[in-house]
Amino acid sequence: MNEQHSTAGRGGTVWVLVITSVAGFMAALDNLVVTTALPSIRQSLGGGLEELEWTVNAYTLTFAVLLMLGAALGDRFGRRRLFMTGLAVFTAASAAAALSPGIEELIAFRAVQGLGAAIMMPLTLTLIGAAVPPERRGAALGVFGAVTGVAVASGPLIGGALTEHISWQWIFWLNVPIGLVLLPLARLRLTESYAPKAPLDIRGTVLVSAGLFGIVYALVNTASHGWTGPVVLTGLIAGAALLGLFVRHGIRAENPMLPMRLFRSRAFLGINAASLLMFLGMFGSIFLLSQFLQNGLGHSPTEAGLRMLPWTGMPILVAPLAGYLSDRFGGRPVVVTGLALQALGLGLFALVIEPDVSYPAQLPALIIGGVGMAMYFAPAASLVLSSVRPGEQGIASGANNALREVGGALGVAVLAAVFAAQGGYGPPQLFADGTVPAVWIGAGAVALGALAALLIPGRRSAGGTAPGPVDQDTADPEPAAV
């Protein structure tokens, strides 16, 4: 690949790391910051369960399906230029979301936020890789990962505090001054780099976007149309057909956004299936449990965010130990154990959910789930990168991030459909009746993720190398273009 590498001349690597980390913090924060604000948004703008689902999924789904296209656009047209474009779109959409007069407008602007994040986020890592010397790149990526981890951990708390003490609009206004400061800094302190021959897979992007939208749209509408209604059946059938065409495209196309041959590797297949199922169960459960703490137990938004910290914040404390265990014993046993603990935590939560459950009764589930989340996250990125050749690591990382977001969107849709079928908004008991079976489904999905992670070759079967190298007998002789 004929690539122009940037240097860290203007402002040095510290500026690059600060700018990209803060941008990554904003995008990661918006994945969860809205969860504790959902009851207030519903009270302010109206709407039912379907609209609240789209308030979350409009962001995650757009982010997921356009993420790899955003990376390719940056390679071709300039990474700094597209990073700034994505940042500007994200910032403007945040302001528009805060000013939304109704729930439909909020959903639309959340989708535009996802577009901005999809352009901006993959280029943060590319800009770091181009600017930081190889011997310092691991430390730089570690700082970036820690910052985004803090965003995920603090999302429900920040969302709850802003919603309670100012207004829910401030979960979006928060991004605006940060974006306005970052834009001129990016222009002055980042240098430009290109990979001018990077392919753009427009057809693949359209197929996967339309297919996933059809399936999620159908799932979101099950409560109002029923599983056998024409709207739901049409969405499921058309979505599945389009995703089938996307898979066929990934097999036959010369430079697809997601080469299906990568899934011939047990390691790549195992970690990506585990990631999708992990996010399906975890993200869907957070969507409901953050509302249960308020609608079912009567806590304020801030109190709900604080009570979720043992779960969402545990990775900050446990990640170093999980990283050590991964280095010592390999990534597979740590990921499998982490997913099993996350499934156990969700199962314990489902067992205690009732309108008058005490916080001490919830704590074991929150702590065990948080430890499990940390043990999954710590080695996951390394397992993804070691499952393919060095020339394919960019596309492998992008695919894994996209599948995580897809899992989150599907999790919200699936678990909300179960919630609506078994309970719904109303008295605390009705809310609990719907939440219990939904969280059990979430626990089951994460448990299936643990089984999928068993596909990842261990150190012994991988010949003593890093976990999950690509199967050499099935690898393509030429690395995929990123």
- With a cut of 70, say whether residue 289 has pLDDT above it: yes
Give yes or no for residue 183 having a pLDDT over 70: yes
Picking from 6, 2, 8, 175, the residue whose alpha carbon sits closest to that of residue 79 is 6
Higher pLDDT, 139 or 183: 183
Question: In this predicted structure, which of 28-37, 83-92, 360-369 has the lowest mean pLDDT?
Answer: 28-37
pLDDT for 460: 54
Among 194, 189, 244, smallest CA distance to 215 is for 244
Average of per-residue pLDDT across 336-348 = 94
Average pLDDT over residues 463-470: 40
Dist CA 454 CA 465 (whole Å): 17
Q: Is residue 211 predicted with pLDDT exceeding 50? A: yes
pLDDT above 50: residue 9: no
Which phi and psi (to 5°) does residue 133 adopt?
-60, 150
| Percent of the chain residues topping a pLDDT of 70 | 89
Position 466 pLDDT exceeds 60: no
Of the candidate ranges 112-116, 172-176, 199-203, the one whose mean pLDDT is the lowest? 199-203
- pLDDT band per the 50, 70, 90 thresholds, residue 2: very low
Give the pLDDT confidence score for residue 374 in this predicted structure: 81
Q: Residues 6 or more apart from 28 whose CB is under 8 A from it? A: 148, 151, 152, 155
pLDDT at 139: 66
Bridge partners, 4 (sequence order): 194
189 and 15 in contact (C-beta within 8 Å)? yes
The torsion of the CA quartet 54, 60, 63, 68, rounded to 10 degrees, works out to -130
What CA–CA distance (Å, rounded) separates 210 from 216?
10
pLDDT at residue number 34: 84
For the segment 243-260, what is each residue's pLDDT rounded down to a tens digit?
Answer: 999 999 999 988 888 889
- Residue 142's pLDDT is 63
Is the pLDDT at 176 greater than 70? The verdict is yes
Q: What is the pLDDT of residue 222?
A: 79
Compare 406 and 349 and report the one with higher pLDDT. 349
- What pLDDT, in 10s, does the model give residues 221-232? 877 777 788 988
Is the pLDDT assigned to residue 480 strictly greater than 50?
A: no
Q: 154 pLDDT exceeds 60?
A: yes
Paired strand residues for 194: 4
pLDDT at 221: 81
DSSP characters over 154-191:
HHHHHHHHHHHHT-TTHHHHTHHHHHHHHHHHHHHHPP
Q: Determine the pLDDT at residue 445.
A: 96
Q: Quote the radius of gyration of the chain (alpha carbons, Å).
A: 21
Provide the 3-class DSSP secondary structure of residue 194.
strand
Q: What is the pLDDT of residues 111-135, one digit of tens each?
A: 999 999 988 888 887 787 777 776 6
- Under 8 Å between Cβ of 268 and 388: yes
- Tracing tokens 């492998």 back to the chain, one arrives at 396
pLDDT of residue 482: 29
Q: What pLDDT, on the 0 to 100 scale, is given for residue 476? A: 36
Q: What is the pLDDT of residue 103?
A: 93
Q: Is the pLDDT of residue 441 over 90?
A: yes
Between the CA of residue 204 and those of 186, 199, 340, what are the distances in Å?
31, 12, 34
Q: Are 314 and 371 in contact (CB under 8 A)?
A: yes
pLDDT number for residue 52? 87
Task: Write down the pLDDT at residue 95.
Answer: 96
Count Cβ atoms below 10 Å from residue 466 Cβ, excluding itself. 15
| pLDDT of 3 over the 50 cut | no
**Whether residue 465 has pLDDT greater than 60:** no
Cα separation, 114 vs 120, whole angstroms: 10
pLDDT at 107: 93
pLDDT band of 449, cuts 50, 70, 90: very high
Query: In terms of pLDDT, which residue wins out, 33 or 289?
Result: 289
Band (306; pLDDT cuts 50, 70, 90)? confident
- Residues above pLDDT 90, as percent of the chain: 29
Which helix (H) or strand (E) element contains residue 73?
helix 49-77
* pLDDT single digits (tens) 82-98: 999 999 999 999 999 99
- pLDDT for position 296: 84
Q: What is the token pair recorded at 309?
A: 């910290």
What lies within 8 Å, CB to CB, of 201 at 6+ separation is: 68, 69, 72, 253, 255, 256, 257
pLDDT at 237: 94
Collect all residues with Cβ–Cβ distance below 8 Å to 43 and sequence separation of at least 6. Answer: none
CB contact at 8 A, 271 and 278: no
Average pLDDT, the chain: 83
How far is it, in rounded angstroms, from Cα 272 to Cα 381? 10
pLDDT at residue 5, as a whole number: 45
| Structural element, H or E, at residue 237 | helix 230-252
